[in-house]
A and B are shown apart, each in its own frame.
Chain A
Amino acid sequence: MKQYAYFPGCSLEKMGLSYHLSAMETTQRLGVELHELEDWNCCGATAYFHVNGDLALALNARNLAMAEKQNLDVVCPCSGCYKNMSSVRAELQADVHAAGRINSALEADNLHFTGKSAVRHLVEVLVQDVGLDEIKSRITHPLAGMKIAAYYGCQMVRPKKDSEDVEQPTFFEELMATTGADPIDFPLRLRCCGGSLIISSRQPALSLVHDLLQNAVDHGATVIATACPMCQINLECYQRQVNDVFGTKFSVPVLYFTQLMGLAMGVAPKRLGIGSEFVSPKPVLAFCDRPSAA
């Protein structure tokens, strides 16, 4: 069993609860043990970095230091948390002065950061540590014929951490393919959904969401698979607003990739949090011949 410190992040508590539920269901079946990081705090989203650099560093350093105490790497299901924690870790490892300042602040909570704990995205852990073959072997109810638009979003892939391919990655499609579905060609798969701009700069964000939905529909997607609660909320909960502003008639299901994997593993939709969507997941469930949860 592979063990990790699990960092759900604020969004997975309620807004993205179905991500949390489906992540638990799938990881349990794949030999991945997720121990929720005790007393974790918010990663700061983008807001903290807008306000104060050192506070943002401290916020994330606290989580990393706590994971170090447990001697575990951190797994983030949310791309935003993943990006914050991994870039803070990198910055503190490279910038001695910043590390000094932050560690003296962490002392107040009896913590110390060295960077020992790596930061992983949930998708990365499944693809690299579990492996596509192992995952395929657990699929009992293949979603044959379902067309999935595997939406990477931005912060799962960028900024660059190593020498990985940030322009033409294929790992997310390959992961989705294990479910038996067809990942479609989705040219805008790496383009931002707007993230928190949906609140702070609504017009531009709705335009970005519109482009993504249109692109997915143009390429025949049954469902858009996401790996980030921000992306899921923007693409799903604001479809109505997009339709209002652009005169479109989008009704595209947007589910977490773990929900799709769970369905392919035979897990009941309710256990995967299916039922709390704005856009009916009926088109997706039609591929599972399971009673609709909506």
Chain B
Amino acid sequence: MATKPVFSQEVSNLMSPTRGNPIRTCIQCGTCSGSCPVAPFMDHTPRRLIAMVNADLEDEVLASNTYWYCASCYQCTVRCPRGIDIAEVMYALDRYSLKKNRYKKGLVGPGFSETFVNIVHGTGRSYEPLLAPSYIFSYGPKGFFGEVQTAMGLMLKGRIPLLPSRVKRLQGFRQMFSRASSDGGAS
């Protein structure tokens, strides 16, 4: 009998089984949260978020800023005494969150990541100027002007590309992509 997978199972399905031990083996020791440099800024610590995932609290988990604040520094993963790849769990939650288009309001990460992906889809390389609109307006007026100032400084120093660069075999590149995204699996 086919049943809809529960939230924790769906999250696990978005991770490769070769990346660390299953999340349900977590003993809630807190090493991850103790090591995380961004934890003090998260509304739920990584450990607590994993407990919430294991409890299938989909709404609360998706509404948290935790997984969008993860810097992927992997300090949690290398120290976890149960061998869970916590950074990967955060990535899986990001993917789930974007798949369902559900995330905390005001976060810059989702829009920024999607814009980035669209740019690379188009040319095969990233291009900073096109990325700017996805975030530059979310810092408030002071932040906006500060960012403009930084951008201008970078431009003056020749550190911002004026024209986007692209992959030469763009056709093959794009075809590869449409196959990869249509193939299902752990996407």
Q: Mark A195-214, 1 if CB is under 8 A from B, else 0.
A: 11101111111011000000
- B34 → chain A closest CB, angstroms: 13
What number of B residues sit within 8 Å (CB to CB) of A? 71
**Contact stretch, chosen from B4-12, B25-33, B46-54, B70-78:** B70-78
User: Given A41-B124, A101-B185, A203-B41, is A95 in contact with B16 using a C-beta cutoff of 8 Å?
Assistant: yes
- Check B109 for interface membership: any CB of A closer than 8 A: yes
Cα A106 to Cα B180 with chains together (Å): 8
**Contact stretch, chosen from A48-56, A141-149, A248-256:** A48-56
* Contact partners of A10 in chain B: CB under 8 A: 125-126
Do A54 and B150 touch (CB < 8 A)? no
Do B117 and A51 touch (CB < 8 A)? yes
* Beta-carbon nearest neighbor of B186 in chain A: A53
- Check B18 for interface membership: any CB of A closer than 8 A: yes
Do A197 and B117 touch (CB < 8 A)? no
* Contact partners of A58 in chain B: CB under 8 A: 176-177, 180
- Choose among A62, A83, A205 the residue that contacts B173 (Cβ–Cβ < 8 A): A62
Q: Mark B86-107, 1 if CB is under 8 A from A, else 0.
A: 0100011011001000000001
Q: Mark B103-143, 1 if CB is under 8 A from A, else 0.
A: 00001111011101100100011101001000100010001
Cα A112 to Cα B139 with chains together (Å): 43
Cα A208 to Cα B85 with chains together (Å): 22
Do A52 and B181 touch (CB < 8 A)? yes
- Choose among B113, B165, B186 the residue that contacts A47 (Cβ–Cβ < 8 A): B113
Residue in B19, B159, B179 whose Cβ sees the most chain A Cβ within 10 Å: B159
User: Given A52-B181, A110-B172, A237-B153, is A98 in contact with B16 using a C-beta cutoff of 8 Å?
Assistant: yes
Do B71 and A192 touch (CB < 8 A)? yes
* Beta-carbon nearest neighbor of A80 in chain B: B72
Do B69 and A201 touch (CB < 8 A)? yes
Do B120 and A42 touch (CB < 8 A)? yes
Residue in A98, A105, A200, A244 whose Cβ sees the most chain B Cβ within 10 Å: A200
- Check A109 for interface membership: any CB of B closer than 8 A: yes
Cα A238 to Cα B173 with chains together (Å): 35
Cα A194 to Cα B73 with chains together (Å): 8
* Contact partners of B158 in chain A: CB under 8 A: 14, 17, 276
Do A197 and B87 touch (CB < 8 A)? no
Q: Mark A169-208, 1 if CB is under 8 A from B, else 0.
A: 0000000000000000000001110111101111111011
Cα A91 to Cα B113 with chains together (Å): 22
Cα A34 to Cα B160 with chains together (Å): 24
- A127 → chain B closest CB, angstroms: 20
Do A46 and B113 touch (CB < 8 A)? yes
Residue in A15, A45, A199 whose Cβ sees the most chain B Cβ within 10 Å: A199
- Check B81 for interface membership: any CB of A closer than 8 A: no
User: Given A51-B113, A53-B187, is A42 in contact with B124 using a C-beta cutoff of 8 Å?
Assistant: yes
Q: Mark A83-126, 1 if CB is under 8 A from B, else 0.
A: 10000001100110110011011111111000000000000000
- Check A158 for interface membership: any CB of B closer than 8 A: yes
Tell me the chain A residues, 232-249 only, with Cβ under 8 Å from chain B: 237-238, 240-241, 244
- Check B63 for interface membership: any CB of A closer than 8 A: no
Cα A94 to Cα B114 with chains together (Å): 28
Do A39 and B117 touch (CB < 8 A)? no
- B75 → chain A closest CB, angstroms: 7
User: Given A105-B180, A159-B78, is A15 in contact with B73 using a C-beta cutoff of 8 Å?
Assistant: no
* Contact partners of B37 in chain A: CB under 8 A: 191-192, 208
- Check A154 for interface membership: any CB of B closer than 8 A: yes
5 closest Cβ contacts across the A-B interface?
A109-B172, A192-B73, A47-B116, A158-B74, A154-B73
Q: A50-B94, A53-B186, A159-B85 provided; 16 other pairs, C-beta below 8 A? A: A14-B160, A15-B128, A15-B161, A41-B125, A52-B117, A54-B183, A97-B185, A108-B176, A110-B172, A158-B73, A167-B78, A196-B112, A201-B41, A201-B68, A204-B38, A237-B153
22 interchain pairs (CB within 8 A)?
Answer: A14-B128, A16-B159, A42-B120, A42-B124, A48-B113, A48-B120, A50-B113, A53-B14, A58-B176, A105-B179, A108-B178, A154-B73, A154-B75, A159-B74, A160-B78, A197-B69, A199-B135, A200-B108, A200-B113, A203-B41, A244-B146, A276-B157
